[in-house]
Amino acid sequence: MTLPNGQQVPIVSYISDEFTDELPRPSPPKRHIMDLLSLKGKVAVVTGACRGIGYAVAETYAEAGATVILVDYVDCSKQALVLGAQHKVVTKSFQCDVSKVENVEATILAIELEFGTIDIFVANAGIVWKTGNITDEANKDGTTWHNLMDVNLNGVYYCAQHVGKIFKRKGKGSFIITASMSGSIANVPMNLTPYNVSKAAVKHLAKSLAVEWAGFARVNSISPGYCDTGLNDHLSREARGKMWSLVPLGREALPYEIASAYLYLASDAASYVTGSDLVIDGGYTCI
C-alpha cells in the first residue's frame, strides 16, 4: 500500500496474531481435482472411530490413501487392522477418554512421536442424551449434564488445544469437528436440550478457531442429521418413524453418506474453506 507521502507500507492481517505475513497471501497452484482429493502422504486422526460416522470417516480416509489413526474410548484395534489390510495403508488404534485432558495430551503426543506429525484431526467422539427432560429425577444432581459436556464439548476443546500446537509448529493442518443439526435447531420428537447445547457450542468453537488459527490451519464443522449409527437404537420404532416423517428425504442417512464431506474438508480441494459448517440432514432443517 502506498501512503500519500509515497511511503510503501506492507498490508498485513490483523485478524489473528499468527497471521502476520504480507497480504495477499499466495494462492495454491491449480491441480487436478482427483489429486486435490487424495490424502496420500497425510496422517489423519479420527476420534470416536470404532463405529458409525467415525468409522466411516476413517475408512474414507484410508480409501483416499492416508495413514489413519483410529481413536476411541474402547479398543478398536480390530477395526484398524481391517482397514489397513483392505486398503493397503498404515493404520493404528489408540484408546483414549477424550473427557480427560491428560489422556488427550498423552495420546496426541504418542501419535506425533510415532508418525512424525498430524495433518488432519477429526474430533468426532460424542455421546447422546438419553435421560429426557432436564427436570426429570434422573437429572437432578447435574451429573448427566456434566458427563455429556465433558465428552461433547470439553473433549473437543482438549483435542483442539493439543493438536493445534502441532499445526502451529508445522504451519498447516485441518481440524474438523462433528457438530449436529441439533446445534442449529431444537429437534423433535426427543428431549435433547443438553445435547443440542453441546453441539451448538462446538459449532461456534469451530468458527472461533477458524479465525484464531487463520495463519496456520483450517477449522470446520459438519452437522449431520439423523444417521443410522446405532446411537438411536434405544428409541422405539414409533419414535424413529416420527423422525423419518420429519426428514424430507424420508429416512436416516447411512454413515458413508456423511463421510464424503469429511474427505472434502480434509483435502486440499477445500483450501479456501474455513469456519464453515456443512449441514447434511436430508433437508430436516429446511422445514
E strands along 25-134, which residues? 43-47, 67-72, 91-95, 120-123
Per the annotation, the verdict on 180 as an active-site residue is: yes
CB 270 within 8 A of CB 219: no
Q: Provide long-range contacts, Cβ within 8 A and 24+ apart, for 269-272.
A: 269/33, 269/36, 269/37, 270/174, 270/218, 270/220, 271/28, 271/218
- Which residues, other chains included, contact 176 with Cβ-Cβ below 8 Å and sequence gap of 6+? 120, 121, 122, 123, 219, 220, 221, 222, 262, 265, 266
Tell me phi and psi for residue 73, to 5 degrees.
Answer: -65, -30
Per the annotation, the verdict on 199 as an active-site residue is: yes
Q: Which residue among the candidates 38, 93, 174, 180 is catalytic per the annotation?
A: 180
Q: Which residue among the candidates 61, 73, 158, 195 is catalytic per the annotation?
A: 195
- Which residues, other chains included, contact 232 with Cβ-Cβ below 8 Å and sequence gap of 6+? 128, 226, 240, 243, 252
Amino acid at 155: G
Q: Which residue among the candidates 42, 92, 199, 203 is catalytic per the annotation?
A: 199
CB 240 within 8 A of CB 232: yes
Length of the chain: 287
What count of other Cβ atoms lies within 10 Å of the Cβ of residue 17? 10
CB 39 within 8 A of CB 267: yes
Q: Which residues are catalytically annotated?
A: 180, 195, 199
